[in-house]
Structure 1
Amino acid sequence: MSAAAGKERGALRIILAERSVAAVIALALFINLGTGIVLPILPLYARSLGADYGQTGLMVGAYYFARLMSDIAAGAVLRRLGVRRAAAAGLSLLAIGALLTGLSPSFPIALICWAGAGAGGGTVFAAMYNALILGVAKERMARALSLFYGAFNGGVVAGGFLGGVVAGRFGLNVPLFCLAAIAAGLAAVMLRMLVESPHPALPQGGRETVPRGRETALRGTENSVRALFRIRGFGGSVISVLANLWMFGAVFNTLVPLFARDVLHLSTFGIGVLYAVSLAAEFAVYYPAGKWADSRGRRFVLIPAFALLAVATMILGWSPTVITFALVMALLGVASGFAGVPPAAMLADVLPEHESARGVATFRFGADLGYTLGPLVAGLTAASVGFKAAFITAGLPSVIALVVVTRGRETLPRSQTA
């Protein structure tokens, strides 16, 4: 057991020894501390500006819709600016957008400014994913991603709690000012800390040698995104991340704050505590999820995770008490943690290095499509049919992902599975 533990510690040291990877993990921690401060409060801030449930979902989704649009251009931006300058530019735009959202006198202006913040956030996340995929060996990718998502979620956990405290004491717009300050500070730091990932050198003839299963998919159509979906496993990774983040955007970012306040009658502090409980449970399973995904396979982790994610999401609206709601939220956090790590590892398994920018942009597009549609559909469903139907709708993409992953193939090379 001690030898295995030593091996794990050695793998972690190798992952963190790469300066750019360590910087990305630190960036994930602090940027999500800032966004975590805003997440549980944003729907309430939208309501304070006169928005109904549908408009509140639109407000939450606007950030991710702008990220979605920025994903389309992310590949070109990264190739032109590089990871370091692209991340700094995105952080600067995020800071300005958050600041102006907090200063907005009306809902329409806040909506536009928050969308601007989302465009910056999309560029930042594309840069982070590229740095990870190019900087970590595939056999350690899921564990590296578990550290990344652990930092990501650790920031959201701390931020969710702080957001409730800050909003309750100083006002619903002050968390946005906190995000602006954090993003502005990170822009300056990341210009110094991030290291540019060199563009992979291609063999003679300008093409990378790829496994036979991928060579046919790319031949003759390398500049087409459609060619990426001919790579076995690529579509599964995109659908998996879309489903998980649809749930996150719909449930955590939209329905939970509204349901907790309007049905369970919790304060902003209580909502922050709910976030902390659920996301702490998610945080706790990230590393086991990465370890098992690297040793037993991506599907071994994803199939039960999506089954639990669908069930937990759909029953959440039937919670009669705060305690029951908190318990189901913790269960949802566990399922989301196990479902969150493998998709990006699947992407790294099958994506040729010279397709990294385009592949990551497409993957991020799927993620932000889930983030965009989830809150919008949840808000409209809650407004027209009620919370129970909204929670059921939020769980349906997880059912679809479960079917796709179950019918798909394992992407982790057999030599690496236990």
Structure 2
Amino acid sequence: MTSERFSLRSIAVPAFGPALLFCIGEGAILPVVALTARELGGSVAVAALVVTLIGLGSWFFNLPASLITLKFGERWAIVGAAFASGLALIAAALAAQFGRAGPSGTSDAGAGLWVLAAAMMVVGMASSVFSLARQKYLTEAVPVDFRARALSTLGGVSRIGIFLGPFIGAGAMHFWGMAGAYWVGVVGMFAAAALSITIPDLVYSPTGKDGFRGPEPTLRSVAVSHRTVFFSLGTGILLLSALRASRQVVIPLWAENLGLDATHASIIYGLSGAVDMLVFYPAGKLMDRKGRQWVAIPSTLIMGVALLLIPLTSTFVSLLLVSLLIGFGNGISSGLIMTLGADFSPDRGRGQFLGIWRFMADAGGTGGPVLLSAVTATVSLGAGVAATGVIGFAAAAVLGVFIPRLKHHRNY
């Protein structure tokens, strides 16, 4: 389809609907996973580990996800990932509902904890396949002039789902207890799988530009042939992901440091997330019309400055204002990592490239909070927050240098 005839509305339901439903399901369970682990007899450390398994499963499965997408195609990879996640959440719901049932008590709870941990790992792995396949699908299906808008919208829709999920889950828990959140997740995942069946299959030419398509490149060959991009711009993506992940931890920690109660901390976090969700489409439009660096540099600088201001706040209002600034900076970067990955991915071996790209991004998402924790333990929380702010300036520098210098599929 040409750019002149293309409209995002024409693919809105099949392209963005499954992402919204999947993320509603995921968002519904995220607030209760740690609490479920505790009820099943896990310690605080074990409960934190169970939550971490979602991210670890997604991170380490990015490379296999690219091979799964290549083998089964984007549509069936999306359908299968959502269905597998739904099955895992059924197991988690049963563990939450019946984990303490039976005369043995402790042993039943222990078994339920193992079931919950395995389910969260599967959810993370399925999320990796789902995310990579939908990113690859939109990269192939959307004209390059609309690419940033499409991927920014995908990122924005995902954030909306994660935002709505906890509220829907809370309503279900009012009637069915903690297991209700998992049943909401099950419905969301299976609904995403059903809707994904309507996604039109992409049609690939059997031959390449030279008349012979040949075998698909391997992960190793793609990593070697694109090592310049991975070592340069990939470093910026790693830093951006670390910055994003850190800001999710910083706001509630600093609110607690100021002596604010959980209600006020939740209000600040929620309002920051609301601003985050409001600006994704204008940012995507700016990237399409002016260039990726017009969003990449301001977003990282804004988040970096805001994080440096966090230690200077001392009241609810001041922390709220800085958190809104963080939300704005993160919101305009919605879809940026996916868009840059799409821009630099080759026509052949795109799935493999995106798998490596996402692996690097998730590595940053894991490393950011680790850096915050290390500096906080060594020096102080204020120093840890400031260190994450410095990451923003480093990301801006790397992205500012390499985005305009490297050759890719988008000509400005």
State if a TM-score over 0.5 links the two structures: yes
- Post-superposition Cα deviations, 1:310-334, rounded to whole Å, max 9, x if no partner, equal 2223443554333333322221111
Q: Which residue pairs with 2:147 in the alignment?
A: 141
Q: Which residue pairs with 1:230 in the alignment?
A: 228
Q: Which residue pairs with 1:294 in the alignment?
A: 288
Q: Which of 356-365 and 168-177 deviates more?
A: 168-177
For residues 242-391 of structure 1, what are the structure 2 equivalents within 5 Å? Answer: 242-252=238-248, 254-256=249-251, 264-267=259-262, 273-316=267-310, 319-378=313-372, 387-391=381-385
Please give the alpha-carbon distance, in whole angstroms, between the structure 1 residues aligned to 2:16 and 2:259: 36
Please give the alpha-carbon distance, in whole angstroms, between the structure 1 residues aligned to 2:118 and 2:379: 27
Q: Which residue pairs with 1:80 in the alignment?
A: 71
Q: Which residue pairs with 2:212 in the alignment?
A: 206
Q: Is the 8 A contact 2:172 2:184 kept in 1?
A: no
Q: Which residue pairs with 1:98 in the alignment?
A: 89
Q: Which of 77-86 and 239-248 deviates more?
A: 239-248
1:29 offset after TM fit, Å? 1.7
Q: Which residue pairs with 1:189 in the alignment?
A: 195
- Verify: 1:29 aligned to 2:16, yes or no: no
SS in 2 for 1:133: helix
Q: Is the 8 A contact 1:294 1:416 kept in 2?
A: no
SS in 2 for 1:197: coil
Q: Is the 8 A contact 2:219 2:352 kept in 1?
A: no
Q: Is the 8 A contact 1:43 1:257 kept in 2?
A: no
Q: Is the 8 A contact 1:41 1:164 kept in 2?
A: no
Q: Which of 315-324 and 119-128 deviates more?
A: 315-324
Please give the alpha-carbon distance, in whole angstroms, between the structure 1 residues aligned to 2:359 and 2:157: 22
- Post-superposition Cα deviations, 1:380-410, rounded to whole Å, max 9, x if no partner, equal 6666765434434444543332221122142
- Verify: 1:124 aligned to 2:130, yes or no: yes
Q: Is the 8 A contact 2:233 2:402 kept in 1?
A: no
Paired letter, 1:322: F
Paired letter, 1:154: I
SS in 2 for 1:353: coil
1:58 offset after TM fit, Å? 3.8
- Post-superposition Cα deviations, 1:120-161, rounded to whole Å, max 9, x if no partner, equal 111110111110111111121111122212212222232344
Q: Which residue pairs with 1:158 in the alignment?
A: 164
1:358 offset after TM fit, Å? 1.0
Gaps of 5+ in 2: 97-108
Please give the alpha-carbon distance, in whole angstroms, between the structure 2 residues aligned to 1:164 and 1:67: 25
Please give the alpha-carbon distance, in whole angstroms, between the structure 1 residues aligned to 2:379 and 2:115: 28
* Percent identical residues: 21
1:205 offset after TM fit, Å? 5.3
1:374 offset after TM fit, Å? 3.5
Q: Is the 8 A contact 1:378 1:393 kept in 2?
A: yes
- Verify: 1:407 aligned to 2:401, yes or no: yes
1:281 offset after TM fit, Å? 0.8
Q: Is the 8 A contact 1:160 1:275 kept in 2?
A: no
Q: Is the 8 A contact 2:14 2:195 kept in 1?
A: no
- Post-superposition Cα deviations, 1:36-85, rounded to whole Å, max 9, x if no partner, equal 23344555556666544x65654443212111121111221111111122
Please give the alpha-carbon distance, in whole angstroms, between the structure 2 residues aligned to 1:324 and 1:170: 39
Q: Which residue pairs with 1:216 in the alignment?
A: none
SS in 2 for 1:199: coil
Rg (Cα) greater in structure? 2
Q: Which residue pairs with 2:61 in the alignment?
A: 70
Paired letter, 2:331: G
Cα distance change on mapping 1:130 and 1:205 into 2, 3 Å: same
Q: Is the 8 A contact 1:157 1:279 kept in 2?
A: yes
Paired letter, 2:315: T
Paired letter, 2:124: G
TM-score by length of 2: 0.80
Please give the alpha-carbon distance, in whole angstroms, between the structure 2 residues aligned to 1:395 and 1:173: 38
SS in 2 for 1:354: coil
Cα distance change on mapping 1:235 and 1:99 into 2, 3 Å: farther
Gaps of 5+ in 1: 1-9, 209-218
Paired letter, 1:14: S
Paired letter, 1:140: F
Equivalent position to 1:15, from 8, 11, 16: 8
1:378 offset after TM fit, Å? 4.6
